[in-house]
Structure 1
Amino acid sequence: MSATKSNPRQSWSVSASITSKRTSNPIRAIVDHIKVKPNANKSMISLALGDPTLFGNFKIHQSCTDAVIKEVTSYKSNGYPPSTGYPHARQAVAEKFTLPEAPLTAQDVILTSGCSGALDMCIGVLCNEGDNILLPRPGFSLYQTCADSKGIEVRYYDLLPENNWEMDLKQLESLIDERTATVVMNNPSNPCGSVFRKQHLLDFLAVCERNHLPVIADEIYCDLVFSGNEFYSLASLTKTVPVLSVGGLAKKYLVPGWRLGWIFIHDRNDIFAAEVRDGLNSLSQLILGPNSVIQGALRDILHNTDESFYDETRAQLEANAKLSTDILSKVPGLKVIVPQGAMYVMIGININEFKDIPNDIVFTEKLLGEESVMCLPGSVFQCPNFIRIVFTSPPEVLQDAYNRMTEFCARHHV
Structure 2
Amino acid sequence: MSLPPVKTRERLSEVRYEIRGELARRARELEGQGRKLIKLNIGNPGAFGFRAPEHLQRAIADRIADTDPYTHQQGLPQAREAIAAFHKQRGTPNASPERVFVGNGVSELIDLSLRALLNPGDEVLLPSPDYPLWSAATILNDGRPVYYRCLPENGFLPDPEEIASLVSSRTRAIVLINPNNPTGAAYPRELLEQIVAIAQRHKLLLMCDEIYDSILYGDAAFTPIAPLAGDLPCLSFGGLSKVHRACGWRVGWAVLSGDPVASGNLHHAMDLLGALRLCANVPGQFAIEAALHGEDTIAPLCAPGGRLFEARRAVMESIAESRHLQLVAPAGALYAFPAVTGAAAQGFDDHRFALELLETQDVLVVPGSSFNVPYRNHFRVTLLPQPDDLREVFRRIECLLDRYAQADADAQAAVA
Residue 404 of structure 2: aligned partner: 412
Partner of 1:4: none
Per the alignment, residue 385 of structure 1 pairs with 377
Give the 3 Å change call, closer, same or farther, for CA 41–328 of structure 1 in structure 2: farther
Shift of 1:359: 1.6
* Structure 2 residue ranges without an equivalent (≥5): 407-416
Deviation per residue, 1:214-269 (Å, 9 max, x gap): 11111111111112111000011122432111111110110111011111011136
- What is the TM-score when the length of structure 2 is the normalising length? 0.88
For the pair 1:125 / 2:113, whether they are aligned, the reply is no
The one-letter code of the counterpart of 2:338 is: I
Three-state SS of the structure 1 residue aligned to 2:381 is strand
Secondary structure at 2:81 match in 1: helix
Q: Name the residue aligned to 2:195.
A: 204
Which structure has the larger Rg? Answer: 1
CA distance in 1, matches of 2:89, 2:357: 46
Matched letter for residue 111 of structure 2: D
After TM superposition, the score normalised by the length of structure 1 is 0.89
Amino acid corresponding to residue 89 of structure 1 in structure 2: A
Q: Distance in 2 between matches of 1:35 and 1:251?
A: 24
- The whole-number CA distance in structure 2 between the counterparts of 1:207 and 1:20 is 30
The one of 140, 144, 149 aligned to 2:131: 140
Kindly indicate whether the alpha-carbon contact (under 8 Å) linking 1:38 and 1:370 is maintained by their aligned counterparts in 2. Answer: no
Give the SS at the match of 1:60.
coil
The 5-angstrom pairing of residues 155-234 of structure 1 reads: 155-234=146-225
What percentage of aligned pairs have identical amino acids?
Answer: 25
Match of 1:262 among 248, 253, 272: 253
TM-aligned CA distance change 1:161 to 1:20, over 3 Å: closer
Rounded Cα–Cα distance in structure 2 between residues aligned with 1:36 and 1:14: 26
Partner of 1:244: 235
The residue aligned with 2:39 is 46
Q: Of 320, 324, 334, which residue of structure 1 is paired with 2:315?
A: 324
| Contact map agreement 1:99 1:236 (CA 8 A) in 2 | no
CA change 1:100–1:405 in 2 (3 A) is closer
Conserved in 2, the CA contact under 8 Å of 1:22 and 1:148?
no
Q: Secondary structure at the match of 1:185?
A: strand
Which moves more between the two structures, 187-196 or 403-412? 403-412
Alignment root-mean-square deviation, CA? 2.6
Residue 17 (structure 1) shift? 5.4
- Choose between structure 1 and 2: higher helix proportion: 2
Q: 2:23 aligns with which of 14, 31, 37?
A: 31
AA at the equivalent of 2:276: L
Say whether the 8 Å CA contact 2:102–2:253 is kept in structure 1: yes
CA–CA distance in structure 2, aligned partners of residues 313 and 118 of structure 1 = 28
Report the secondary structure of 1:167's partner residue: coil
Q: Which amino acid aligns with 2:302?
A: R
Letter of the aligned partner of 1:313 in structure 2? L
Tell me, in whole angstroms, the C-alpha distance in 1 between the residues paired with 2:151 and 2:397.
Answer: 25
Check 1:12–1:323 CA distance in 2 against 1; reply closer, same or farther (3 A cut).
closer
Contact 2:23 2:355 in 1 (8 A): no
CA distance 1:365–1:22, change in 2 (3 Å): closer
1:29 CA displacement:
5.7
1:13 shift after superposition? 7.9
Tell me which residue corresponds to 2:298: 310
* Residue identity matched to 1:286: L
Aligned to 1:277: 267
Q: Tell me whether 402-411 or 254-263 shows the greater mean CA deviation.
A: 402-411
Deviation of 1:327 after TM superposition, in Å, equals 0.9
Q: Which amino acid aligns with 1:85?
A: G
Range with bigger deviation, 157-166 or 21-30: 21-30
